[in-house]
Chain A
Amino acid sequence: GAGVSQTPSNKVTEKGKYVELRCDPISGHTALYWYRQSLGQGPEFLIYFQGTGAADDSGLPNDRFFAVRPEGSVSTLKIQRTERGDSAVYLCASSLDTTSRQFFGPGTRLTVL
């Protein structure tokens, strides 16, 4: 693929529901990052995968947030019992390795009503 893709582009859900956000990194990129960008703010780091394992999940705000990357390619960010404060744009980025430039996807805009 040409770049990082994310689906869906927009997700509207109700408070308390479960959502999954998907990221398809650039083929061959071993490192994958999730960030969250609230309105008027810069992106904030959530979690980083090297291959299949979460190497750094220090940015996940609480245990409602979880992410997986079972085959070392596609990643899914999962949010349980969504709250209105979870509304934001969720960005995914991938890089060839941990020293290389990160390429960002277009993001998923999550709105929790």
Chain B
Amino acid sequence: GDSVTQMEGPVTLSEEAFLTINCTYTATGYPSLFWYVQYPGEGLQLLLKATKADDKGSNKGFEATYRKETTSFHLEKGSVQVSDSAVYFCARGGATNKLIFGTGTLLAVQP
């Protein structure tokens, strides 16, 4: 069935380091792809999305490019901040617009 696989955490980085969180998806059709973020004590928020191949989603310095050839949607940020510490979820759209999530990656940024 449809699924999303993302790298396991936790990922621990120093402030201003480069971030990559890998995500791959099953290639049934051409789904929309998403990154959601869950800050401590808060609900899920959409971080960015891409709806077709080669689209790049971006927000708050984060970027992810929809790669059909590798079925990937890796999240990147050039310089992380302590305030980026959160759990990041990769997701793909499924039938009826339901979301299929990965298991989440905890990012801890140290000053």
**Interface residue stretch chosen among A12-20, A71-79, A94-102:** A94-102
User: Is there an interface contact between B45 and A104, defined as CB atoms closer than 8 Å?
Assistant: yes
Residues in B with CB closer than 8 Å to A42 are 4, 89, 91, 101-104
User: Is there an interface contact between B97 and A105, defined as CB atoms closer than 8 Å?
Assistant: no
Cβ of A31 < 8 Å from any Cβ of B?
Answer: yes
Say whether chain B's binding surface is mostly helix, strand, loop, or mixed. mixed
- For residues 73 through 113 of chain A, which have their beta carbon under 8 Å from a beta carbon of chain B? 91, 93, 95, 98-99, 101-102, 104-107
Binding site for B on A (CB under 8 A): 31, 33, 35, 40-45, 48, 50, 55-56, 59, 91, 93, 95, 98-99, 101-102, 104-107
Binding site for A on B (CB under 8 A): 4, 42-46, 49, 89, 91, 94-104
| CB contacts between A and B, total, < 8 Å | 53
Q: Which residue of B lies closest to A47 (CB)?
A: B98
Out of B43, B94, B104, name the residue touching A107 (CB < 8 Å): B43
User: Is there an interface contact between B97 and A99, defined as CB atoms closer than 8 Å?
Assistant: yes
Kindly state the separation between the CA atoms of A33 and B94 in the bound complex, as whole angstroms. 13
In the complex, what's the smallest C-beta–C-beta distance from A66 to chain B, in angstroms?
18
Q: Which residue of A lies closest to B6 (CB)?
A: A42
User: Is there an interface contact between B101 and A56, defined as CB atoms closer than 8 Å?
Assistant: no
- Tell me which of B42, B46, B99, B104 has the highest count of chain A C-beta atoms within 10 A of its own C-beta: B99
Kindly state the separation between the CA atoms of A93 and B98 in the bound complex, as whole angstroms. 10
Residue pairs across A and B with Cβ atoms less than 8 A apart, 7 shown, are: A40-B103, A42-B103, A43-B99, A44-B101, A48-B96, A48-B97, A104-B43
